[in-house]
Amino acid sequence: MARVTVYSTANCAFCNSAKMMLEKWEIDYDEVRIDNDNAAMKEFLDVTNGSRTVPQIIIDGKPIGGFDELTELHMDGELDELMQSN
């Protein structure tokens, strides 16, 4: 199964929604909070090529975007393919 990382902050409704959807779809993920951790913020900027919005979701090292993109991948049936590509 693919490895999923969610970069998020504490007070982000879209972050919470993305995490809830992953849990609903029974997809395990690692959360990296960037709001109080300079090292995590640097990692976030490196991995996402300087993104400025959260959540940012990474599947097996590939940035897929945020909540909207996650939902779209699921609706198009592409999320299952990404999750089993490993």
Number of domains forming the structure of the chain: 1
Interval 7-66: pLDDT, tens: 999 999 999 999 999 999 999 999 999 999 999 999 999 999 999 999 999 999 999 999
> Is 33:10 a contact under the CB 8 Å cutoff?
yes
Sheet holding 56-59, edge to edge: 30-33, 4-8, 56-59, 62-65
Is residue 79 over pLDDT 90?
A: yes
Domain ranges, residue 78:
4-84
What is the end-to-end Cα distance of the chain in Å, rounded?
Answer: 6
Domain containing 62 — which CATH number?
3.40.30.10
